[in-house]
Amino acid sequence: MVAGLAQAATAQLSNLPLSVETSDSLLTLTPAAIQKIYPAQSRPEAVFLTNDKKVTMGFEWRQVSLKPSEVSGLVNQFPAVIKSQVAGLKTLTPKLVTIQGIPWAQFVYTLAGKNGDLRREMLVTSAQGRMLILNVDSSVKDYSANDLAVRTFVNGVKVSQ
């Protein structure tokens, strides 16, 4: 269900318009595992995990239309949506970031969990006129322990326009 990734290399994802920098510090879920774990209505196309399996990074390529010029507007629009949909929201930090020359709307938020606070990060951009989302999920504690691996992965995402 979980496969390791070989030495650091660029991998083109066949079902997504992007490539990622892989490394031996990451694992990837097989398509069968993704289908088993995630509900159909919110199933990501690809999921990566840190070696300790404490942080997941999943890509969704939605049918929703999104032009590159609209990405920056999401920074102001999405916080209201997140606040209305996420129970127990403690903090929310929206901003516009650039990854590999592409603008992404970034939303980092924390919420109460059973065993400590949870950290969620949602990065949204336009890919071939559609909304591409990268969700990074973990506990606050586990994110801190894996920060370097996660940031290296996120900063290595290359979107094909």
Given a cut of 60, whether residue 79 has pLDDT beyond it is yes
Which residue type, as a one-letter code, is found at position 93?
T
d(CA 17, CA 23): 20
Given a cut of 80, whether residue 9 has pLDDT beyond it is no
d(CA 73, CA 29): 32
d(CA 8, CA 73): 34
Encode 85-114 in three state secondary structure. Answer: HCCCEEEEEEEEEEECCEEEEEEEEEECCC
Q: What is the pLDDT of residue 133?
A: 96
d(CA 59, CA 38): 12
Structure tokens that stand for 8 in this block: 């650091």
Global pTM exceeds 0.75: yes
Residue environment code for 30-65, b if the CB has 16+ CB neighbours within 10 A, otherwise e: eeeebeeeeeeeeebbbbbbbeeeebbbbbbbeeee
Given a cut of 80, whether residue 8 has pLDDT beyond it is no
Q: Please give the CATH architecture assigned to the domain spanning 10-159.
A: 3-Layer(aba) Sandwich (3.40)
Q: Tens digits of per-residue pLDDT, 89-132?
A: 999 999 999 999 999 999 999 999 888 999 999 999 999 999 99
Q: Tens digits of per-residue pLDDT, 47-73?
A: 999 999 999 999 999 999 999 999 999
Q: What residues does each domain of the chain span?
A: 10-159
Given a cut of 50, whether residue 143 has pLDDT beyond it is yes
